[in-house]
Chains A and B, each alone.
Chain A
Amino acid sequence: MEFTIDWYFIIEKLLLISAVLGISLVVAMYSTWGERKVAAWIQDRRGPNRAGPFGLLQPLADGGKLFFKEEIIPSSANRFLFIMGPSLAMFTACLTSAVIPWGDTLTIAGREVSLQIADINIGVLWIMMVVGMGVYGIMIGGWASNNKFSLLAACRGASQVISYELPMGLALIALFMISGSLSLKDIVEQQREGVWFVLLQPIGFLIFLICSFAETNRTPFDLPEAENELNGGYHLEYSSMKLGFYLFAEYINMFISSVLMATLYFGGYAFPFMDKLGIDGNWLTVLGIGALFLKTLFFIFFFMWVRWTIPRFRYDQLMKLGWKVLIPLALLNMLITGAWILFRENGFNF
């Protein structure tokens, strides 16, 4: 038997992978700039405005600075794991984007090119898996530093992510009961034909939103970082670009979470009346990508807006919120959704 390799397919996927990776990195880079601008504006300041017009070269300056800083590995640290921590954090952060549909199909030279790297039928499961692995970066880094604050942060990070993955998963189950599919592409296509799932699952969305804050270690749930009690937490001993990797991974995670929220609950690349505009093909796809990015940018802004509004939770409050409020609420949401589906399909004829 002869194998034929579809070279166009490989080139197409390689290009798509590089594009998605590049876009995630650039968005993460400019999120640092955006974060500082939003912080400044909320505090009636101007924010970075020296490097380039509007301070737009600031991320490059920051990155350059991080590269040139002295690299310190503490003598009592486990060298292998110390280096593995940030690498793993960065690796898992970049992995999630593989299953996200960035747009509909483009037609280039007679070929239909899907703007999704891998349309696997367990897309959301993949994301949950990668997010669960993301905490290993924090745990390994915190443990390998051989520092009590880092270790405390690692413990906090691990238990926080485990606690908040449960309500997140339960909130998503209610969503899948409606969509009947785990493939992100299917979920978006259903929202394109019907209504956005946020209208059907408002409580589910709220739970998912709160959990994403906890999963990405953003304020008000940035307890593994906790600069004023744990001194920076898991990245306390890190310097140079290894620190940069940790900070960068957080911003990539934030970007991916925003894309995910837009995709799961706000229609992804679909926008209202998109099939009634009278345009189709490549232009509609481009518009769709624009819509997805607009939604994503809003959520990124929302992440920042919350960070500069709400103070950090205490650890017991965090656990109480996760286990005593969000999980029962998610279960209740599941129950209501199930009842609603049953009622819609069968009426009262059980």
Chain B
Amino acid sequence: MQSLTNRAKPVDRRPMTFAEKLYLPAIAKGMGITLKHLFKKKATVNYPEETRPFSPVFRGLHILNRDEMGRERCTACGLCAVACPAEAITMEAAERLPGEEHLYREEKYAARYEINMLRCIFCGFCEEACPKQAVYMSETFAPANYQRKGFIYGKEDMLIPHPQKQIKENNQ
């Protein structure tokens, strides 16, 4: 029969010689192999202290983006919710009132924007669907909570910090 790879070895069914029956040389050989492994570089990454580098297209937890003046970009069009195959996104739209121009970029905004992280499959379709570049996926990836309701992320969990306010707070 033709072998699939060139690494195939025929099975040796000859009876063991006396040297092989002693077992001790074979055991010594095995001990040598384990001793070599004792000093090898460890494969483990010390997780919380060290993290494995992600590729630039990694899809982690979502963030909601602001524009350069700190206004929310989301206009609650609902395209992300439509694109979502896991139906993890819900939102409620509201109209921007006069005097709120510094808070919201568009005339319509999301009063409530929730993503259920237990439903989310991190496919990234929401990111692709968004016409306003409002939703992005970050590199954080391990949400942890004691209750299910803790996994429903609201606006306050996902909105990135206000760029100008953040600078002020850092200077203080």
Chain A residues with CB under 8 Å of chain B are 38, 41-46, 49, 305-306, 308-310
Contact = CB atoms under 8 A, between A and B. Distances in A.
B131 interface: no
B31 A46 contact: no
A44 B35 contact: no
B5 interface: no
Interface stretch (B36-44, B77-85, B98-106): B36-44
B87 to A, nearest CB: 39
A45 B37 contact: no
A96 to B, nearest CB: 27
29 contacts: A38-B38, A41-B37, A41-B39, A41-B42, A42-B34, A42-B37, A42-B38, A44-B37, A44-B40, A44-B41, A44-B42, A44-B43, A44-B44, A45-B42, A45-B43, A45-B44, A46-B42, A46-B44, A46-B46, A49-B46, A305-B31, A305-B35, A308-B34, A309-B27, A309-B30, A309-B33, A309-B34, A310-B27, A310-B30
Interface residues of B, number: 15
A256 to B, nearest CB: 23
Q: Report the 7 A-B pairs with minimum CB-CB distance, sorted nearest first.
A: A309-B34, A41-B38, A42-B34, A46-B44, A309-B30, A44-B43, A46-B42
A316 to B, nearest CB: 15
A285 B31 CA distance: 34
A308 B33 CA distance: 11
A61 to B, nearest CB: 18
Q: Which among A306, A308, A309, A310 has the greatest number of chain B C-beta atoms within 10 A?
A: A309
A44 B36 CA distance: 10
A41 B39 CA distance: 7
A264 B44 CA distance: 41
Interface string B19-62: 00000000100110111011111111010000000000000000
A305 B43 contact: no
A214 B31 CA distance: 18
A152 B16 CA distance: 32
Contacts of B31: 305-306, 309
A309 B38 CA distance: 11
Nearest to A307: B34
Contacts of B44: 44-46
A273 to B, nearest CB: 28
B28 to A, nearest CB: 10
Contacts of B43: 44-45
A43 B39 CA distance: 10
Contacts of B46: 46, 49
Nearest to B24: A206
A46 B41 CA distance: 10
B39 to A, nearest CB: 8
A44 B31 CA distance: 15
Given A43-B37, A49-B46, 13 more contacts: A38-B38, A41-B38, A41-B42, A42-B34, A44-B37, A44-B42, A44-B44, A45-B42, A45-B44, A305-B34, A309-B27, A309-B30, A309-B34
Interface string B116-133: 000000000000000000
Contacts of B33: 309
Nearest to A37: B38
Contacts of A310: 27, 30
Contacts of B35: 305
A46 B38 CA distance: 10
Contacts of B27: 309-310
A309 B33 CA distance: 9
A152 to B, nearest CB: 26
A309 B23 CA distance: 13
B38 to A, nearest CB: 5
Interface in B61-107: none
A306 B34 CA distance: 9
A299 to B, nearest CB: 14
Contacts of A306: 31
A44 B43 CA distance: 6
Contacts of A309: 27, 30-31, 33-34
